Structure 1
Amino acid sequence: MERRQTLRIGIGGGSGSGKTTLSLKLKERLSEYRVAIFHMDKYYKSVRPLAKAPFTNQIFEDFNHPDAVDIERLTEDYEHAVDSGEYDVIVVEGFLLYQFEYLRNSLDLKLFVDCPADERMLRRNRWFIDKGHSEESVLQEYLQLVRYRHDEYVEPTRWHADLVMNSSLAGNQGVEVVTDWIFTRLRENRKLLG
């Protein structure tokens, strides 16, 4: 019997846009299937590049640059999951995801989660403050570096997406649309395999 084809979904978008939330909603709605999620945040290198803020020249450890991601390890884990045949759906999410051509081109569906910059900033700040960072340090890093890196590395990648989703809109039907598309593709895969 032929091994079933794994459906590969990518979720990009700015820091704090709702990528992780979307990936978890998809996994919940696809509970009858075997779903793996790869969070790019878990693949940072232990030593990251340093960056100088454009206007203040303050130095920050740069989590917002593609060189901060251990792309070799992520790619290896991703390929292993795809090749294993263990999963019906694999979701890869990260704000720098579409910077990596190999991963981008391997995906069956590319989503970009969007919301206003101020909302992303508030969500991001809340998350880091909850993790024990000071409000001042989180805000300064965002204002001095993160927003510039977003414009440089994240925003241009929206054009690689098949679908841009609004994560600000209450009652957004985007999750329903994506889930329906995934169900349709999974049913087609099952028919092909008999």
Structure 2
Amino acid sequence: MPRIIVSIGGGHVTEIHKTVLQIQKALLAAFVNTDVVIADLDKTLKTGERTYTNKDYDFEQVLSRLTDSAGSDVWEAILVCGKYALFDPKINELAQLKVFLDSDGDRRLIDLIQRNGAKDPGTLAELIQEYMGGLRPEMHKYIEPTRAHADLIMPSSTDSVGSAIVVDSIVKIVQDSKGGISHTTKLFPHLDFQAESLDIEKEKYYDLS
């Protein structure tokens, strides 16, 4: 049975995993006899002192899942997610759709502080130090350049409409590849890429590279 691979990356604190869970739920509702697997690159973070580079992650572990030739009785979608999801050239070559969740530096820092509940000066100082000394240079040197590999670029504040755009793109890929999917539900009738009336709305959520 066919396999569709979608990579979803982005900067720190950009709700990558929340978006991926929304996409997984939507795909399971949209397709019949489908297995939707999440390959979380962030879960391969190596133990020990962080280098704030790609060397902190085990790309081979994810690649082995993507290239597993074991047969399946159902159509399969693999959602590769994580900050470095668009970094590895081998993964990029395998992925039929690559998505980058975008956010500016100020927004990432504010979200980092809010997520960690930094209320006392000591904790706030530690977070700012980690951001300035590790996360910020990592973003500029390693993660942000992967934006160039993306097919879809969406703001990190994306809501269900953003996830629906990704799902609609996957539906198009399946249809174009004639992947043997005979039954789908029209999950997002308002997101028809052929409808001219949606051009303005779509531009608010993503750019096509």
Short-chain TM bin: 0.7 to 0.9
Q: Which one scores higher on RCO, CA 8 angstroms, separation ≥ 6?
A: 1
Question: Shift of residue 13 of structure 1?
Answer: 0.9
Give the percent of matched residue pairs that are identical in Structure 1 and Structure 2: 25
Whole-angstrom distance in 1 between the partners of 2:26 and 2:160 = 15
What TM-score, normalized to structure 1? Answer: 0.77
Whole-angstrom distance in 2 between the partners of 1:125 and 1:83 = 43
5 Å-filtered alignment, 1:1-194, equals 4-32=1-29, 33-48=34-49, 61-62=50-51, 64-80=52-68, 83-85=70-72, 88-128=76-116, 134-168=123-157, 173-187=161-175, 188-190=178-180
Change (3 A) 1:122 1:143: same
Change (3 A) 1:5 1:121: same
1:21-56 per-position Cα deviation (integer Å, ceiling 9, x unaligned) = 1111101111243110111111012234xxxxxxxx
Question: Shift of residue 78 of structure 1?
Answer: 3.3
Whole-angstrom distance in 2 between the partners of 1:17 and 1:154 = 12
Contact 2:8 2:81 in 1 (8 A): yes
Whole-angstrom distance in 2 between the partners of 1:72 and 1:129 = 34
Cα RMSD for the two superposed structures: 2.5
Which residue identity lines up with residue 112 of structure 1 in the other structure? F
Question: Shift of residue 117 of structure 1?
Answer: 1.8
Change (3 A) 1:172 1:26: closer
* Number of matched pairs: 172
Which 5+ residue runs of structure 1 have no aligned equivalent? Answer: 49-60
What TM-score, normalized to structure 2? Answer: 0.72
